[in-house]
């Protein structure tokens, strides 16, 4: 490649990042002449650096590596959720949103330069192999994670079905690194799962991807076919997020009016208020939402909206606390930028950034003693920890007189058990409250 054409290409890429990407959203104010002149001066310095590396570095460096390296340097000055996605990684991102890809199946983030597992994807090879939320991945194969940039880290974890990768993780309760060998497979993310426990319906959302809201609507309909449903549990535990639009639509399934979430950023186009619409078919049965430290982003939007509107009781543990919105901007070479463009706020104007959603009733999860139980939570990793960030308790003792047999509760899941108990006895508790109110009125008379 000729030097002059390289400089022109490199300058165009940088200008695209600084100016045109913002313009892609709407029509924000253009930088004044002084700022633009300063930018072009800095681009000269950057171009000089590139040329010196190309000419004098001991080994030949590809132009793509140089350009992407420069962009990664820019993005590294921002928050941990902004970054460059190479063409292959960007393509994989699009595939993952459709719900199927090949790899190990974990959601990770960078924390103080460390690669940390937010949560293993449910039923994935990583979960089955014993990877836990909160594990720090120290080695991938023989390579130390600190020696690999984030996009390449992800590339090393992905791979064809049937191939193996060994990682070594540091766990807060263990003195030595734990080696875990994972056999890669096709990761089919079933976004929505449903079941009944007695007369309580349970809908689990593993990730917000395309058509999640239609699958949730279908699950609600199927669970209520017999007409005897007493309540509904919406399980958002270990849900790392996904598409903002789907979080809004899922929330709208349960709300008749009011704000679901609002987003605010520097660009006026990012100031959006998403509101519920009355479709006339919203379920009216009592609801519980389950969250934990692995509930992040889109799942926190849903939990926050239903909590603020008092449509659902939130049970579990404080959520991850990722209250920012990322927008993807494709670049001309097939790569893309993920840029934190706004913060989101719940209907009561709460920002959960680094705070998370606090449950109405806190119920701790069970921590298995052995590593071969994949759903352990050995450490609490939340947004606030990331450098640079913007026996089952009884509700009522004994048999309280329900005519129907008690549902068989999941004894290894105290959070779900508590939710099912509460919803199963909801009508009785409401009758007790109504009787107390009547008695008080009688006493006054």
As annotated, the active-site residues are: 297, 308, 322
Residues 6+ apart with CB under 8 A from 262: 271, 272, 273, 274, 344, 345, 349
Residues 6+ apart with CB under 8 A from 264: 270, 271, 342, 343, 344, 345
Q: At what angle do helices 3-15 and 33-56 cross, to 10 degrees?
A: 140
Q: Which of 83, 74, 231, 51 minimizes the C-alpha distance to 152? A: 83
Yes or no: say if 100 and 186 are a contact pair by the CB < 8 Å rule: yes
Q: Measure Cα distances from 389 to 110, 111, 149, 383 in Å.
A: 11, 10, 19, 7
Cross-strand bridge partners of residue 164: 183
Tokens encoding 163? 């191939």
Pairing of strands 192-197, 185-188: unpaired
Distance of CA 332 to the CA centre of its chain: 28
Q: Which of 240, 241, 242, 222 minimizes the C-alpha distance to 232? A: 222
CA distance 161 to 125: 10
Distance of CA 133 to the CA centre of its chain: 13
Tokens encoding 16? 């695209």
Residues 6+ apart with CB under 8 A from 440: none
Q: At what angle do helices 63-76 and 3-15 cross, to 10 degrees?
A: 30
CA distance 201 to 324: 31
Q: Which of 285, 292, 301 minimizes the C-alpha distance to 243? A: 301
* List of E strands, 198-245: 200-205, 231-235
CA distance 86 to 64: 10
């Amino acid at each position: 490649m000729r030097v002059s054409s390289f400089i022109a290409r490199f300058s165009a890429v940088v200008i695209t990042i600084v100016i045109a990407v913002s313009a892609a959203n709407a029509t924000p104010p253009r930088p004044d002449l002084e700022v633009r002149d300063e930018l072009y001066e800095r681009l000269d310095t950057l171009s000089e650096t590139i040329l010196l590396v190309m000419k004098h570095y001991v080994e030949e460096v590809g132009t793509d590596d140089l350009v992407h390296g420069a962009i990664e340097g820019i993005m590294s000055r921002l928050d941990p959720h902004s970054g460059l996605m190479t063409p292959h990684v960007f393509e994989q991102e699009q595939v993952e949103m459709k719900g199927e890809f090949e790899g190990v199946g974990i959601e990770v983030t960078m924390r103080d330069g460390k690669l940390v597992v937010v949560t293993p994807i449910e039923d994935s090879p990583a979960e089955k192999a014993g990877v836990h939320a909160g594990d720090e991945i120290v080695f991938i194969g023989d390579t130390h994670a600190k020696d690999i940039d984030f996009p390449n880290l992800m590339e090393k974890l992905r791979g064809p079905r049937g191939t193996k990768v060994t990682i070594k993780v540091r766990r807060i309760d263990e003195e030595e690194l734990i080696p875990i060998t994972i056999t890669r497979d096709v990761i089919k993310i079933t976004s929505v799962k449903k079941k009944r426990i007695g007369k309580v319906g349970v809908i689990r959302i593993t990730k917000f991807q395309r058509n999640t809201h239609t699958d949730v609507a279908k699950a609600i309909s199927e669970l209520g076919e017999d007409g005897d449903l007493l309540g509904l549990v919406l399980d958002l535990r270990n849900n790392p997020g996904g598409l903002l639009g789907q979080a809004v639509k899922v929330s709208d399934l349960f709300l008749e009016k009011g704000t679901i979430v609002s987003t605010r950023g520097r660009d006026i186009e990012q100031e959006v208020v998403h509101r519920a619409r009355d479709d006339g078919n919203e379920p009216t049965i009592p609801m519980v939402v389950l969250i934990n430290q692995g509930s992040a982003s889109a799942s926190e939007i849903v939990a926050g909206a239903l909590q603020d509107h008092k449509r659902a009781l939130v049970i579990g543990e404080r959520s991850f606390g990722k209250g920012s919105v990322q927008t993807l901007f494709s670049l001309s070479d097939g790569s893309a930028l993920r840029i934190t463009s706004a913060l989101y706020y719940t209907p009561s104007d709460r920002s959960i950034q680094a705070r998370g959603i606090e449950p109405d009733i806190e119920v701790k999860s069970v921590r298995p003693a052995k590593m071969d139980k994949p759903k352990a939570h050995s450490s609490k990793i939340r947004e606030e920890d990331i450098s640079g960030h913007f026996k089952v308790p009884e509700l009522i003792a004994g048999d309280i007189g329900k005519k129907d047999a008690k549902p068989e509760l999941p004894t290894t899941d105290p959070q779900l058990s508590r939710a099912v108990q509460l919803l199963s006895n909801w009508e009785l508790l409401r009758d007790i409250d109504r009787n107390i109110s009547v008695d008080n009125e009688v006493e006054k008379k």
